[in-house]
Amino acid sequence: QVQLVESGGGLVKPGGSLRLSCAASGFTFSDYFMNWIRQAPGKGLEWVSHIAPSSTMKHYADSVKGRFTVYRDNAENSLYLQMNSLRAEDTATYYCARDLNWSVDSWGQGTLVTVSS
């Protein structure tokens, strides 16, 4: 069955960096757009970034543009989010989610990133 498993979250100081990973299984990863979506504690969902199946297109929310980089390794069925210059407001649970034909139909369980000194 479809499975998305995020990892790499943790506690990091403001200005620090972190790389999140999302391991995909149970489907043809290279067919799907992939997204990163986050949720600050007690807040709503915020779309962060997405990447086309062959990495030819990448988009970012204004709140992370220039600081976060999304990339993928289709051979390893993995999605990544490199997060630099982290701020307190980046504290959130980060989810990866797949989409095909504008249907965001499967999410991971999320990984918590805490930015604090």
> Which window, 13-21, 69-77, 83-91, 99-107, contacts other proteins (CB under 8 A)?
99-107
Side chain identity, residue 39: Q
23 part of the interface to other proteins, by CB under 8 A = no
27 scored as a contact of other proteins (CB under 8 A):
no
The first and second tokens of residue 101, run together, are 């034909």
| Footprint of other proteins on 33-72 (CB under 8 A) | 35, 37, 44-47, 50, 59-62
In sign, the C-alpha dihedral spanning 84, 87, 90, 91 is: positive
What is the per-residue DSSP string for 95-106? EEEEEETTEEEE
What is the CA 56 to chain-centroid distance, rounded? 17
**Are 39 and 95 contacting, i.e. CB atoms less than 8 angstroms apart?**
yes
Kindly state whether residue 110 participates in binding other proteins, applying the rule CB under 8 A: yes
Asked if 95 and 106 count as a contact pair (C-beta separation under 8 A), the reply is no
Interacting span for other proteins (CB under 8 A) from 18-26, 74-82, 84-92, 108-116: 108-116
| Residue closer to other proteins, measured from CB, 56 or 62 | 62
State in angstroms the smallest separation of the CB of 65 from other proteins: 9
**Contact positions toward other proteins, by CB under 8 A?**
35, 37, 44-47, 50, 59-62, 95, 101-110
